[in-house]
Amino acid sequence: MNKKGARYSQVMKELKNAYEQDYHFKDGGILGSMCTKPHPAALKAHSMFIESNLGNPGLYPGTKKLEEKVIRMLGSLLHNKNAYGHVTGGGTESNITALWIAKKVTKKKEVVFPESAHFSFHKACDLMDLTPVEIGLDKNYRMRIDEAEDKISDKTACVVGVAGTTELGVTDPVDKLSDICNEKTFLHVDAAFGGFVLPFLKELGYKTPDFDFKLKGVCSVTIDPHKMGMASVPAGALLLREKQYLKSISRKPVYLTGVQACISGTRCSASVPGTYATMKVLGRDGYRRIVKSCMDVTFYLSKRFKEIGLQLPVEPEMNIVCARMKNPIRIVKELDKKGWKISKTRKPRCIRGVVMPHVTRKVVDDFIPELKKVCRKNGEI
Ligand code: 0PR
């Protein structure tokens, strides 16, 4: 820092320069992100509540009430109007908190999750000295239930099922996990991505698996408003079936104005009104329209992948499409140089398109010829 403050206009010029170096959803080249341009209501609400800090809730009773309403709305989306929980900084924080609760409640150490689970579960195991027990995948890249059943034991602190895997967007057989856990073993569902997709796919008439509190064995669910919920970053949420789960991690520091039952102390709370405003303005109809339009583009992208001779490991179940590649790293690198930001997967080796609302048919039409050239050059097709 300089001794003397710099000119405001000079600093703003620097910020503008940095902003221009970033990639933006509106420019169309981002095909590998699970986030998108937030809804205008989120932007407005977020800037309005920029001072809020739910780490000290007594000072922000208005924001606190909005958080309760957000939890109720998310709960009703996930078949539990009476769910407990809080808004977090995202899927990682929600997943770590879920395992923290499971550890406290059960006093056990093993966490059973599929190989396809997000790496936040490994972070959680590292942090809390829990033992990961990874389960293999079936031919559709879902958790193998026979293996899970074998490995769930009296040492299990938590079983995790994923509703919308990060890489392929498939959903584990959570109904079967719920039966196996039978309300005795803690079952957490990571619906960070799928939570704002599956309920609306169902309303659109798709055959979708049950994954939420409708299933008796499900104890907690991660759902991220900052992904398909169209809210401003960072906005995740953790929902819990029982009040005692929150109590197991709560603290009441004497110098603060309320209880904290979460990892963060001071926390970014502007995303709470951001999420509230977005959910209220969109309503179920709004989300259904968004999911429908993402799925239309998803099917279009998968058709165009096949037309240029690529193979899909699975047909898309939500708005994620993967195409097999011998060398996805090289393909992604070459596309990157041309301004296309698509991601890759480890298992199976693929390039991965996440069809968020900013990925339109026009984006696909511009992308496919470039992809074809790169694939031809590298002997992929
Ligand atoms: N659970 C699942 C199923 C996820 O897909 C993700 C994130 C998480 C948990 C963790 O969520 P947070 O990143 O909110 O903590 N999946 C993406 C990933 O890590 C997130 C992402 C978002 C990646 C935007 C890129 C990007 O531009 O790959």
In a domain, 295, yes or no: yes
Same domain, 288 and 228: no
List the domain range (segments joined by +) for residue 314. 23-38+283-377
Which amino acid residue places its CA nearest to atom 26 of ligand 1? 33
Residue 367 forms part of a structural domain: yes
Looking at residue 255, its pLDDT comes to: 81
For residue 227, report the distance from its CA to the centre of ligand 1, in Å. Answer: 8
Same domain for 233 and 349: no
- Distance of CA 330 from the midpoint of ligand 1 (Å): 23
Q: 339 and 356: one domain?
A: yes
Residue pLDDT, tens place only, 86-103: 999 999 999 999 999 999
Question: In angstroms, what CA-CA distances link 285 with 46, 143, 260, 280?
Answer: 23, 32, 34, 11
So what's the pLDDT on residue 216?
97
Q: Which residues have C-beta atoms less than 6 Å from ligand 1?
A: 33-35, 90-92, 95, 118, 120, 162, 166, 190, 192-193, 224, 236
Examine residue 9 and state whether it is found in any structural domain, yes or no: no
Q: Tell me, what CATH number does 157's domain have?
A: 3.40.640.10
Best residue among 118, 230, 351 to mutate for probing ligand 1's pocket (most ligand atoms within 8 Å of CB) is 118
* pLDDT of 354: 98
Do 204 and 269 share a domain, yes or no? yes
Q: Same domain, yes or no, for 135 and 119?
A: yes
pTM recorded for the entire structure: 0.97
Phi, then psi, of 110 in degrees rounded to 5: -95, 140
Q: Please say whether the beta carbons of 259 and 227 come within 8 A.
A: no
Q: What six digits make up the tokens of 181?
A: 């856990």
Pocket test for ligand 1, best of 30, 34, 318, 354 (most atoms within 8 A of CB): 34
Using 50 as the pLDDT threshold, list the residues of the chain that sit under it: none
Alpha-carbon distance values, 218 to 8, 117, 169, 277 (Å): 52, 17, 20, 28
- Which of 252, 280, 308 is a domain's end point? 280
Kindly state whether residues 103 and 45 are assigned to the same domain.
Answer: yes
Residue 221 domain-assigned? Answer: yes
337/264 same-domain check? no
Is 89 within the bounds of a domain?
A: yes
Shared-domain flag, residues 101 and 243? yes
Query: What is the C-alpha to C-alpha distance for residues 50 and 227, in angstroms, rounded to an integer?
Result: 20
- Rounded to an integer, what distance in angstroms lies between the CA atom of residue 32 and that of residue 11? 31
Q: Looking at ligand 1, which residue's alpha carbon is closest to its atom 20?
A: 34
Looking at the fold, whether 262 and 287 belong to one and the same domain comes out as no
Split into its structural domains, the chain has a count of 2
Neighbour-count burial of 79, counting CB atoms closer than 10 A to its CB (0-12 exposed, 13-18 middle, 19+ buried): middle
For atom 12 of ligand 1, the residue with the nearest CA is 91
**Residue 95: DSSP 8-state:** H
Distance 134 CA to ligand 1 centre (A): 19
Residue nearest to atom 16 of ligand 1 (CA): 166
Within a domain: 31: yes
Closest residue CA from atom 25 of ligand 1: 33
For residue 142, the model assigns a pLDDT of 98
Q: How many CB atoms lie within 10 A of CB 44?
A: 16
CA of 198 from ligand 1 middle (Å) equals 17
- pLDDT for res 209: 97
pLDDT at position 259, please? 82
- Decide if 53 is inside a domain: yes
SS3 track for 214-242: CCCCEEEEEECCCCCCCCCCCCEEEEECC
Does residue 100 share a domain with residue 180? yes
Ligand 1 pocket mutation pick from 162, 166, 220, 264 by most atoms within 8 angstroms of CB: 166
Domain end (from 280, 304, 320):
280
Residue 316 lies in a domain: yes
Please check whether residues 223 and 178 belong to one and the same domain. yes
Interval between CA 117 and ligand 1 midpoint (Å): 11
Contact 197, 203 (CB under 8 A): no
- The pLDDT of residue 268 is 84
Same domain flag for 270 and 314: no
Of 255, 280, 305, the domain-final residue: 280
